[in-house]
């Protein structure tokens, strides 16, 4: 389903070269006409140095051996610019290839940034650092979802405060991938509870069938709604990059379906009581209607404030320590 295709949102945060695997994926799944994909590739290549590749696609698209003159001229410019960039980067490359010079680097990141900035004008502002984190997270998707332990590593990276803050403020669509990793990963369950709070808080800024499914199951306890979202997920995941999540979500679906099995009343009541006790859910049984009533887990404003500030003291101490280390590293004037 092209409706849930995140390529237009992910693309601006990727290097142009990394967009090509996404276009290849879309072309393979035939979500868009083949001609449209080829034109998109040429448009993407026109602003890169991959002129030869653009020429090949142009020949394939228009069934010709001729290429536009502007592509030929562009190729000459690319070769000249490549040589200029090699000359400009030569001092920094020489520094990194020199073992004695590399030993000047310290464990203090701020010192290294300042030293490289003074020598090579390699400046990175706080705003640039946030943008760099967003780029890193987008680029890392190619690695995490193609690595055996990637679903654990993506949680370790994305769930850090500074990265999670960047997601919530500038790239909420990345919640899809973090949600996917949590669902298929049993080793990060303690962090999953905190992530559900993020899903709950960010429902207004971003939602898709996966995040809505989690909200139905873990926030609102709407099992009928979860069943509907499950069906949407089956269609939705067929156009995404998380097919492996379906197997794990099927297990949750079976758990939801048990509520509608033809158990006798005593067996059903016993099963529900054990479910409530083991899962520590806020729920009660209505004996008259033979149903279980589950209360949504919605923390009040004071609980949310405590959650957001409970690590403030530790962060402040760490920030002050880094500042003191940076000041002490400065030469006396």
Weakest mean pLDDT among 74-88, 120-134, 135-149: 120-134
- pLDDT at residue 256 tops 50: no
Say if residue 280's pLDDT is above 60: no
The pLDDT, as a whole number, for residue 252 is: 45
Per-residue pLDDT at 18 exceeds 60: yes
In the predicted structure, residue 210 carries a pLDDT above the cut 60: yes
Higher-confidence position of 205 and 140: 140
Asked whether the predicted pLDDT for residue 331 surpasses 90, the reply is no
Q: Provide the pLDDT confidence category of residue 121 given band limits of 50, 70 and 90.
A: low
**Least-confidence region, from 95-104, 156-165, 306-315:** 306-315
Structure confidence at residue 309 as a pLDDT band (50, 70, 90): low
What is the structure's pLDDT at 112? Answer: 76
Q: What is the pLDDT of residue 257?
A: 44
Residues 106, 266: Cα–Cα separation, whole Å: 67
| pLDDT at residue 302 is higher than 60 | yes
User: Residue 267: its pLDDT value, please?
Assistant: 65
Rounded mean pLDDT of 291-298?
58
The 10s digit of each residue's pLDDT in 42-95 is 888 887 888 888 888 888 888 888 888 888 888 888 888 888 888 877 877 888
Check residue 272 and give its pLDDT. Answer: 60
Please tell me the least confidently modeled range out of 65-69, 122-126, 180-184: 122-126
Instruction: State the pLDDT at residue 93.
Output: 82
pLDDT given at position 124:
56
């Amino acid at each position: 389903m092209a409706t849930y295709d995140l390529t237009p949102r992910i693309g601006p945060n990727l290097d142009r070269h990394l967009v090509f695997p996404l276009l290849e994926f879309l072309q393979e799944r035939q979500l868009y006409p083949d001609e449209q994909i080829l034109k998109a590739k040429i448009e993407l290549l026109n602003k890169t140095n991959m002129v030869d590749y653009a020429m090949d696609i142009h020949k394939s698209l228009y069934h010709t051996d001729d290429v536009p003159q502007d592509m030929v001229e562009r190729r000459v410019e690319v070769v000249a610019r490549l040589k200029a960039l090699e000359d400009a980067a030569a001092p920094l490359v020489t520094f990194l290839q020199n073992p004695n010079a590399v030993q000047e680097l310290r464990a203090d990141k701020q010192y290294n940034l300042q030293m490289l900035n003074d020598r090579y004008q390699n400046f990175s502002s706080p705003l640039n650092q946030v943008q760099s984190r967003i780029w890193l997270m987008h680029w890392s998707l190619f690695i995490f979802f193609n690595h055996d332990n990637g679903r654990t590593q993506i949680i370790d990276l994305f769930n850090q405060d500074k990265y999670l803050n960047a997601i919530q403020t500038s790239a909420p669509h990345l919640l899809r991938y973090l949600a996917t990793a949590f669902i298929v990963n049993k080793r990060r369950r303690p962090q999953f509870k905190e992530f559900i709070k993020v899903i709950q808080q960010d429902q207004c800024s971003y939602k898709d069938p996966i995040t809505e499914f989690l909200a139905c199951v873990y926030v609102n306890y709407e099992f009928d709604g979860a069943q509907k979202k499950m069906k949407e997920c089956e269609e939705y995941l067929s156009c995404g990059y998380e097919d492996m999540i379906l197997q794990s979500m099927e297990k949750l679906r079976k758990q939801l379906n048990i509520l509608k099995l033809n158990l006798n009343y005593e067996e059903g009541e016993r099963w529900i009581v054990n479910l409530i006790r083991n899962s520590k859910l806020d729920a009660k049984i209505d004996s008259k209607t033979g149903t279980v009533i589950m209360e949504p887990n919605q923390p009040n404003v004071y609980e949310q404030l405590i959650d957001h500030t409970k690590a403030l003291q530790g962060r402040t101490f760490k920030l002050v320590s880094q500042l003191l280390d940076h000041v002490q590293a400065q030469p006396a004037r």
